[in-house]
Chains A and B, each alone.
Chain A
Amino acid sequence: MELKVFEKRDDELKMEIRGEDDTLLNVLEHTLLEDGRVLNIEYNIQFPYMSDPMLYLRTDGTEPIGVLLDACERLLEECEEFKSKFEAASEKTK
């Protein structure tokens, strides 16, 4: 993964997330939408589908990278939760 920042202001961030696709971006977008500080979040993968996704984020004035980092933190927690709960549930059936 490689990040290329195109625009960065106090409340805006436009960057390309190279080498990633819908797998990460869709769930990231969804996590950011649950954040009250986010005013607008969208990403676009241009034709052809192998292109790198462009992420656009606008916040209410909070540092956008900080908001993204919080989203990453929540996603990591969710992954860990899935892993531990899944392990526990599959243990039970054995």
Chain B
Amino acid sequence: MKIEVLKLSDEKGRFLLRETSSAFVNAIRRSAMAEVPKMAVDYINVYDNTSSLYDEILASRIGLIPLTADLNSFILPEECECGGEGCPSCQVSLTLTAEGAKMVYSGDLFSMDPSIQPSFPDIPIVKLADGQRVMIEAVARLGTGKKHAKWQPAVACGYKNMPKITIKDCDKCGKCIDECPKQLLSLNKELKVKDLMECSLCGLCEKACALGAIEVGVEEDAFIFVVESDGSMPVVELMIRSAEELGKKVLELKEDLESIQKDAGVAEIGQRRRT
């Protein structure tokens, strides 16, 4: 496997993966979206809400606010010693108190744990008129995207095969240049592709060419992987955790298979004894 970073910031990443299979890349993608745990508000206690929004809508809006967290210091409620009831090692509460007239933003959430903060302080929650009040306790827990989209750390995550455009016996008529919706082709003595990675594989240039001189294909074992984080963790951490989560699943399967193999061995010995 060869990995090349094309673009990388905390929010967005674009990578070129070579010598791997679509099955593995897809597993990484699925794992990043559905298996990597992150913090999100799971439920709220409403002490006062005279705003124009119902409690349920507030709960939904607060739940979808991405929270940054030190993930190593928390565990999933299912795996916690408290059995999912809620204790300091699996949940954190945030309070929201505001009185109108004002716009309530995610930055107004006050966290009991300084390591847990909204990733963006400027997400609007509710607009309060003069005299309206909200007083809410929000409880954040770890979860995975499989259960609810609020626990999904990768928001835009996908891949495509590396395009491969072959040109031979071209008569330089230039018809394909006008057809390309991304304007990737140029004719300057020779027909050339400007940015191969931008090609969307639509194949319009192929159809425009009467000679069949241009051919759009893919490299079967090379992939352009695009990922965007919701702000709860940097892209690098997200990708590494995604591979870790996949590895954990495989390891679990391996251990279970080994125990089956052992049990089967015992059963066979037992049968032999009986006969």
Contacts and interface: CB of A to CB of B under 8 A. Distances in A.
Nearest to A66: B261
Given A76-B251, A90-B8, A93-B8, A27 B3 contact: no
B117 to A, nearest CB: 24
A38 interface: no
A68 B257 CA distance: 8
B166 interface: no
A78 B1 contact: yes
A81 B258 CA distance: 24
Interface of A is mostly: helix
Contact of B23 (A20, A27, A83): A27
Interface string A40-80: 00000000000000000000000001101100110110111
A1 to B, nearest CB: 5
A83 B1 contact: no
B24 A23 contact: no
A26 B4 contact: no
A62 B35 CA distance: 33
B257 A23 contact: no
B79 to A, nearest CB: 13
B167 to A, nearest CB: 31
Contact of B5 (A27, A28, A68, A90): A90
B256 interface: yes
Specify the main secondary structure of chain B where it touches its partner.
helix
Contact of B1 (A69, A75, A85, A90): A85
A79 B247 contact: yes
A68 B31 CA distance: 21
B249 A23 contact: yes
A81 B3 CA distance: 10
Interface residues of B, number: 38
B250 interface: yes
B30 A23 contact: yes
B252 interface: yes
A86 interface: yes
A1 B252 contact: yes
Given A8-B264, A86-B240, A80 B247 contact: yes
Interface in B1-44: 1-5, 8, 15, 20-21, 23-24, 26-28, 30-31, 34-35
B3 A79 contact: no
Given A26-B27, A30-B21, A80-B247, A93 B5 contact: yes
Q: Which of A69, A80, A86 has the most CB of B within 10 A?
A: A86
A23 B27 contact: yes
A3 B250 CA distance: 13
A14 B239 CA distance: 33
A86 B254 CA distance: 24
Given A89-B15, A93-B5, A26 B246 contact: no
Contact of A23 (B4, B8, B20, B34): B34
